[in-house]
Amino acid sequence: MPHVLASRTAPAVAPAPLDASLSGIAAADTVKARLPHHAPPITTAEVSAEFERFKAHLASYLKPEEVDKIDAAFVFSRAAHEGQFRSSGDPYISHPLAVAESLAEWHMDAQALCAALLHDVMEDTGVSKDELAQRFGQITADLVDGVSKLEKVENQSWQEAQAENFRKMLLAMARDVRVILIKLSDRLHNLHTLDAVRPDKRRRVAKETLEIYAPIANRLGLNQLYRELQEISFSHLYPGRYRVLSKAVKAARGNRREVVGKILDAIKESLPANGIQAEVMGREKHVYGIYRKMREKHLSFSQVLDIYGFRIIVDDIPKCYLALGVLHSLFNPVPGKFKDYIAIPKANGYQSLHTTLIGPYGTPVEMQIRTRQMHHVAEAGVASHWLYKDDGDSSEIHQKTHKWLQSLLEIQSSSVDSAEFLEHVKVDLFPGEVYCFTPKGKILVLPRGATAVDFAYAVHTDVGHRCVACRINFELMPLRTELQDGDRVEIITAVNANPNPAWLSYVKSGRARSKIRHFLKTQHTEESAALGERMVTQALRSVGYALAKITTNQWERLLRLTGAKSKKDVLTDVGLGKQLPAIVARQLTEGLEAEDDVEDRSTSTIVIRGNEGSAVVLARCCRPIPGDPIVGVLRKGQGLIVHTHDCKTLAKLRGERDGWIDVEWQPEAEHLFEVGIRVIAENRRGVLARVAAEISASNSDIMNVSIDEGQGLYSMLQFTLQVTDRQHLARIMRSLRRLPEVVRIQRARD
């Protein structure tokens, strides 16, 4: 990397090989060198000299005409940013050049490098996208636009503006992954120069990087970049904790020198003795990794034993497994700490064998075994598509990444606003994966803690919507069961099943969460609109009008008056109680004459079935069932709540009669309704069983039962039953009264 901007653009240092003298372990203390530090501002002449060295590097893998195009982009960007300086005092052009240099380390193409040099001109200098497209091509202009922030809308909070910008960037990334590679390189350089900005902004940028950009780098397999983003962000977000842990790691390195030396010597002797030529590399766990482990597992620093690990790089896959056998014969493996990511790669394309061994003095040491090809991909991730173009595996990783990016578009289509979209994406970015199998043997990768519902939505949206039960490893299990690695999952569906709102409390994947929310919102809107139409129809009939006769002009006048976007929005608001049907009817009929051919106004009541969904709610205080005289109360945001005429809660709402709606039951309803009964019976052996048997014989299901033994000879049994109507309930109560143990029975009203 050229030297002028090296302090700001140097990529994370790869782990150095450990030799017998352990100089490599000392070399592992590279974090401090990579972290931001104050440096004198650089001059324009130094930037120009740096660009010349940059062009020399580009000539090693790009065509001359492509280098010329990048030269033109640099000249254009330098002119556009003329007179602008960064907070550090450096000429602004030094920043896009540093971003382009980072991308060149991955051998990115000319379009991406031009976009990197131009990535701030639209946002900071007023250059239009059309001008960029004319000068440098449409693709470069699209890349620059994908990275550029949106203009902040008036009355929009900073959080809302950020969510909108993330949404725009992630959707652009879904179309072209180079957008996020430019943005990540941009964020890396900004972190390196973060010392020059205000402390509050420094913490905000560091927190944002840890929550969003570092997980995206991890998801794309950019492990070097991922670790560096984490490390620098941690040093800015918690500088005191970072200093303390750094000092502790340095002290621990000297204390464990002997242990690490013994392990290293044993590995270097045993592998060649078994015919395995390997490169052995030592690596030290990063400070942020230690901090996160301490927090997640509530450990002190002295309890974090696996600070050091070893990476063994061999020629091919069979030797990976041979090397694993040699290591297991040297030191005892820790049960349950072996992961085969070669046979089952991670979602970001990462492949390696992981095992934890008990070294000398009981010290646990992690070993990673991989081929050279896997090592390249592990460090560069999706960028290996450009860095190693002849590598077949890197193209496969690019396809996997493309599949994940397309899933962002699915989440976007189900999300209402930017904040919700960002929430769903964050869920999928959290590290930790679980690998499960379909009945046909296909592997699905889900976030750690995922349930059978997540699995169902991973198979297909319709499977998720219709799932009712599951078999995990051939056993029937609840849908909320957390899945483990290797589980075989079979989803059982039903044609008439729908998503349950309770699923949102335990699903883990962003896809499942967004699909469930979208379905529930759509269903709620449709039900509310249908109910609103019935209520407006009733209100119009009561004043002598028919809904079908209301003209388009009258609806348009109402939309202008209320500010609603469509007729459906008005009806939905009525169904949700946000507008009164009588007022909507009056606004629609203003200036019209009543019609004579409208149906009998006295019978204009709303007919309910009781299974309309969330738009019509049967009050829990009185549990109305068909046959009960009922009244509907329209509550804002809750829809139509149905009470019995004699409900005590309804009596308290006499002052709100404007919101009361005339409702009646649909004849011959076939739906089941819950109702409560109280049975006072003698304390005899088996009385609960006899009462339950009598209820079952009356074709009713018991949903819940509780017993209050009370004092003396009697107990109170409380049942929640399912009945079809009031007559069905009456038959059940008559049959229970015939039991000699039953003293009294009554319907529960609360």
* pLDDT score at 20: 32
What whole-number distance in Å separates Cα of residue 40 and Cα of residue 60?
A: 31
Helix (H) or strand (E) holding 72: helix 64-80
Q: Is 47 helix (H, G, I), strand (E, B) or coil?
A: helix
pLDDT at 365 over 70: yes
- Give pLDDT, residue 508: 84
Tell me, letter by letter, the H, E, C secondary structure of 597-640.
Answer: CCCCHHHCCEEECCCCCCCEEECCCCCCCCCCCEEEEEECCCEE
pLDDT-derived band at 29, boundaries 50, 70, 90? very low
Q: DSSP labels for 283-294?
A: EE--HHHHHHHH
pLDDT at 347: 73
> What is the band of 14 on the pLDDT scale with cuts at 50, 70, 90?
very low
pLDDT in tens, 702-712: 888 888 876 57
Lowest-pLDDT range, 220-229, 263-272, 288-297, 561-570? 561-570
Count of beta carbons in the 10 Å neighbourhood of residue 372: 12
Half-sphere exposure of residue 588: CA atoms within 13 angstroms, side-chain side: 26
pLDDT at residue 264, as a whole number:
83
Contact 150, 171 (CB under 8 A): no
Per the structure block, which two tokens stand in for 385?
């598509």
The catalytic residue positions are 123-124
pLDDT at 407: 64
Residues 316-335 have pLDDT tens digits of 999 999 999 999 988 888 88
DSSP letter for each residue of 469-507: EEEETTEEE-TTPBP-TT-BEEEEE-TT----GGGGGT-
Q: Which pLDDT belongs to residue 711?
A: 59
Supply the pLDDT for residue 620.
Answer: 82
Task: Concatenate the DSSP letters of all residues of 127-141 into one string.
Answer: --HHHHHHHH-HHHH
Could you tell me which residue, 635 or 200, shows the higher pLDDT?
200
Please count the other Cβ atoms lying within 10 Å of the Cβ belonging to residue 211.
14
Mean pLDDT of 649-677: 75
- The reported pLDDT for the residue numbered 157 is 59
Structure tokens at 437: 């199998």
> What does the pLDDT read at residue 324?
92
Mean pLDDT (the chain) is: 79
Report pLDDT for 592.
66
Give 193: exposed, middle or buried? Use CB within 10 Å, 0-12, 13-18, 19+. buried
Percent of the chain with pLDDT over 70: 78
Q: Is 213 exposed, middle or buried (0-12, 13-18, 19+ CB in 10 A)?
A: buried
Q: Among 172, 221, 177, 183, which residue's Cα sits nearest to residue 393?
A: 221
Q: Quickly list DSSP for 546-565.
A: -GGG--HHHHHHHHHHH--S
Confirm if 166 and 212 have CB atoms less than 8 A apart: yes
Tell me the per-residue pLDDT of 397-438, one tens digit each, with 9 for 90 and over: 666 666 666 666 666 655 555 666 666 565 556 556 778 888
Q: What is the identity of the amino acid at 8?
A: R
| Longest alpha-carbon distance in the chain | 104
In the chain, the domains with their CATH numbers are 6-236 (1.10.3210.10), 244-381 (3.30.460.10), 432-508 (3.10.20.30), 518-665 (no CATH), 673-748 (3.30.70.260)
Q: What is the pTM of this model?
A: 0.61
Output the pLDDT for position 24.
Answer: 37
End-to-end CA distance of the chain: give it in Å, rounded: 75
> Length of the chain in residues, anyone?
750
Residue 50 and residue 70: Cα distance in Å, rounded? 14
Q: Which of 2-11, 301-310, 442-451 has the highest mean pLDDT?
A: 442-451
- Please report the pLDDT score of residue 584 as a whole number: 78
Q: What is the pLDDT of residues 150-176, one digit of tens each?
A: 554 444 556 666 667 767 677 776 677
The answer to whether 410 and 510 are in contact (CB under 8 A) is no
Task: Check pLDDT > 50 for residue 28.
Answer: no
Strands 606-608 and 663-665, by their bridges, are: parallel
Q: Tell me the residue type at 644.
A: T
Contact criterion met (CB below 8 Å) for 692 and 702: yes
Between 320 and 15, name the one with better pLDDT. 320
Residue 703 has φ and ψ, to the nearest 5°, of -90, -30
Q: Is the pLDDT of residue 603 over 70?
A: no
User: What is the mean pLDDT of the segment spanning 114-119?
Assistant: 90
For residue 338, pLDDT beyond 90: no
